[in-house]
A and B are shown apart, each in its own frame.
Chain A
C-alpha cells in the first residue's frame, strides 16, 4: 500500500473522530448535568435511552440513523431541501462516531459532576449566581478531569467506530474510508498485508488515547 494512502486514511479517521468529539461536547455536557443534578419524571428513561448505542449492535444504531438521515428519512428530507447531503459523505462518518461516542462521554462526565460537592454550588447560588453561571464557573471547573477523560474515551470510541459508519457512510475510498472500515474492506478483498498494517496503526493510536485517558483519571485521583 502507498504510504500516502495510510496517511490519508489515518488523517481522515483522526480528523473525523476529533470533529465527532467536538460535536458530542455541548449535548453531552447538558445531558450529563441533567442526569447528575436534575430531578424530573422520566429520568430513568432518558438515562437508559442515552446508553442504548452502547449496548445495541452498532449496525442496528446505523440502521436507525440511516432511516432518519437518508434522503427519504424525516431528517434527511429537511436537510436535502437545504442542499445538505449526509449519507455517503464525511458528515455521515462524523454523525455515526458522535452518536456512538456520546454515551461514554455522558457517563464519564456525569460521574464527575456527581462527585462535585453540592455545597459549592449552593454557596454560589446564594451569592446570586444563576444556574448557568453556577455550572460554568463552579461545577464544570471542578469536574474538568472527568470532562477530559470523557472526551478522550469518546474520541477513542469514535476512532474504532465501524458498524454504524458502514451503514450510513459506506466504504468509499478517499471519501468515507476510516481505519476500521478500510481494515474490513482490505480483509474482504484479499489485501491482508495492508489490513495488518492498518491494524498496527489503529492499535498504536488506541494505545495512546487510552493511556491519555488513564493518565487524566489517575491525576484526578491525586487531586481528590
Chain B
C-alpha cells in the first residue's frame, strides 16, 4: 500500500516522457481552423498536437523568454520578427502560411449596427465604442490602425477605440453588447451567431494580412514540427483553411 503512491506517480510521469505531443503556439484567430486540422492530422496518423492560442504579441514574448513550443504561427510579420530577433525561431523554416481580411462587425440585432454600412459610419455618435486588439501590439489591432490611418480617420476615431487583449476578445465585446462595433478578421465573424459583418475592409487602404509560420529554435521535436508544418501546407489542410475563410499561401503544390 505504501508504494501505491509511487506507482501512481510513475504511471503519471512515464507516458509523458514516452511521447510528448507537439506544441503549437498560434494566433488566436486560427483557433477553430487549427483544431479541425489537428483532428485531421491525428486521423492521418500524424500524432497529437496541442495548442497555445493567444494574441501573437503574447506568444512572441513567451517564445522570446524561452517558453517550450515547437511551432509558431503569428498573425503578423512584426511579431514573427520579434521572436526571430530574440533568436527564438529557426528563420530558415519561416514561410508565409496564410492570408486574411479585416471586417467591421456589429451585433445582428443592434439598431446601431444597422446604421453601419461603410467606414464613415463609424464616425457617427451612435458608435461609442469601437473594439480592436490593442493597436500597440496585437496584430489585428495593428492592421486595423494601419487601415484607419491610411483612410485618414484614425485621429477622429481614436477616442472611441477600446483596446482589447486579442481579436477574439474584440468579437466577444460586440457579442455581449458592450461595444457597438469591432474590427476583426473576416474569419472570426464567420464563426459567430450573434455578430455579423457590417462590411468588409477592401480597397487600396486595406492592409495586406499575412500569417507567417516558423519552427521554434529551441524545439525538442523539430522533425515532428516540420512534418506538421508541411501538413499545414498540404491539400487537406489548405481546404480546411479555405473553408474557415483563410487564404492559403505558398501551398505545396
Chosen A-B contacts, 15 in total, with CB atoms closer than 8 Å, are A66-B178, A70-B177, A71-B177, A88-B129, A166-B165, A172-B161, A172-B162, A172-B163, A173-B163, A188-B58, A188-B61, A188-B134, A188-B137, A189-B134, A190-B57
What distance in Å separates the Cβ of A221 from its nearest Cβ neighbour in chain B?
44
What secondary structure prevails in chain B residues at the interface with A? loop
Measured in the bound complex, the distance between the Cα atoms of B165 and A80 in whole Å is 26
Is the C-beta of B136 less than 8 angstroms from some C-beta in chain A?
A: yes
Q: Tell me if B40 counts as interface (CB < 8 A to partner A).
A: no
Known: A70-B176, A189-B57. A170 touches B164 (CB 8 A): yes
Is B176 in contact with A88, judged by CB distance below 8 angstroms? no
Residues of B within 8 A of A (CB): 55, 57-58, 61, 82, 128-129, 134, 136-137, 161-165, 173, 176-179
Q: How far is the CB of A147 from chain B (nearest CB, A)?
A: 35
Q: Determine which of B55, B136, B162 lies in contact with A170 in the assembled complex, contact meaning CB atoms within 8 Å.
A: B162
Contacts beyond the supplied A66-B176, A185-B163: 20 A-B pairs with Cβ under 8 Å: A67-B176, A71-B178, A85-B128, A87-B178, A88-B129, A88-B162, A88-B178, A88-B179, A166-B165, A170-B163, A170-B173, A171-B165, A172-B163, A173-B163, A185-B134, A187-B61, A188-B137, A188-B165, A189-B134, A190-B82
A190→B63 CA distance, assembly (Å):
13
Alpha-carbon distance A88/B164, docked complex (angstroms): 11
Q: Give A34-60 interface residues, CB cut-off 8 Å to B.
A: none
State whether B178 touches A188 (Cβ < 8 A). Answer: no
Query: How many interface residues does chain A have, given as a range?
Result: 10 to 19
State whether A188 touches B55 (Cβ < 8 A).
yes
Of A85, A170, A187, chain B has the most CB atoms within 10 Å of the CB of A170
Chain A residues lying within 8 Å of B136, measured Cβ to Cβ, are 185, 189
Pairwise interchain contact A189-B137, C-beta atoms closer than 8 A: yes
In the complex formed, the residue of B with least CB distance to A177 is B163
Residue numbers in A under 8 Å from B177 (CB-CB): 70-72
How many whole Å from B48's CB to the nearest CB in chain A? 28
Once bound together, how far apart are the Cα atoms of A188 and B64, in whole Å? 12
| A175 smallest CB distance to B (angstroms) | 9
6 tightest A-B CB contacts, nearest first: A189-B137, A72-B177, A189-B136, A87-B178, A71-B177, A70-B176
